[in-house]
């Protein structure tokens, strides 16, 4: 179990898991709770935040540049999206993935969305694969690390996104 998180982390990974479990036991969506309070994930390493979406670097990443895209209105998973919502969310995911390619020099960006457990909140995970890194789905379950240099990385990704990387 992870016990060595930096002191400036909003919540340790262990404590985060405990708090998420507490909220779920009360029937509260942890993501909606966080969007209202900022308690769980903080606002570190943000890439984009508007009325519909929040894009930020994962604080406990499985890969360098591991990015989370949250659709703010509550949906349990992507099967609940309307066609317009699908277009908006996956259009944004494409733009962010291309920004990750440009900012990190990633060869490929993997997209995964699971949102299992109850309640859960629709989010997409983008995992860049950098040159020399192995291909394959094992990357989805790679050990979680600690985000390093997150603000600089987020700034570079945001700049690429704003330039309309393609």
Footprint on this chain of Zn ion (rule: CB under 5 A): 29, 31-32, 74, 121
Strand, helix or coil for residue 13: helix
Minimum CB distance to Zn ion, residue 154 (Å): 23
Which of residues 54 and 101 has its CB atom nearest to Zn ion in the complex? 54
Which of residues 72 and 108 has its CB atom nearest to Zn ion in the complex? 72
Minimum CB distance to Zn ion, residue 121 (Å): 3
Which of residues 34 and 156 has its CB atom nearest to Zn ion in the complex? 34
**In 40-86, at which residue ranges do the beta strands (DSSP E only) sit?**
46-49, 53-57, 67-71
Minimum CB distance to Zn ion, residue 75 (Å): 8
Minimum CB distance to Zn ion, residue 68 (Å): 14
Strand, helix or coil for residue 10: coil
CA distance 160 to 100: 8
Minimum CB distance to Zn ion, residue 58 (Å): 18
Which of residues 73 and 150 has its CB atom nearest to Zn ion in the complex? 73
Which of residues 29 and 157 has its CB atom nearest to Zn ion in the complex? 29
Can you tell me which residue has the tokens 């990633």?
106
CB atoms within 10 A of CB 73: 14
Cβ atoms of residues 55 and 46 within 8 Å: yes
CA distance 31 to 137: 26
Q: Which residues pair with 109 in a beta bridge?
A: 128
Can you tell me which residue has the tokens 């949250």?
70
């Amino acid at each position: 179990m992870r016990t060595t998180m930096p002191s400036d982390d909003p919540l340790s990974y262990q404590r985060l898991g405990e708090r998420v479990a507490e909220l779920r036991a009360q029937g509260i969506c942890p993501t909606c709770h966080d969007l209202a309070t900022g308690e769980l994930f903080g606002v570190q390493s943000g890439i984009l935040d508007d009325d519909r979406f929040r894009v930020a670097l994962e604080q406990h990443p499985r890969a360098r540049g591991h990015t989370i895209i949250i659709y703010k209105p509550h949906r349990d998973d992507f099967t609940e999206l309307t066609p317009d919502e699908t277009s908006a969310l996956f259009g944004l995911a494409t733009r962010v993935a291309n920004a990750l390619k440009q900012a990190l020099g990633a060869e490929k960006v993997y997209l995964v969305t699971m949102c299992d457990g109850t309640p859960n909140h629709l989010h997409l995970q983008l995992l860049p694969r950098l040159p020399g890194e192995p291909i394959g789905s094992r990357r989805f379950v790679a050990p979680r690390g600690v985000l390093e240099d997150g603000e600089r990385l987020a700034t570079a990704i945001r700049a690429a996104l704003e330039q309309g990387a393609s």
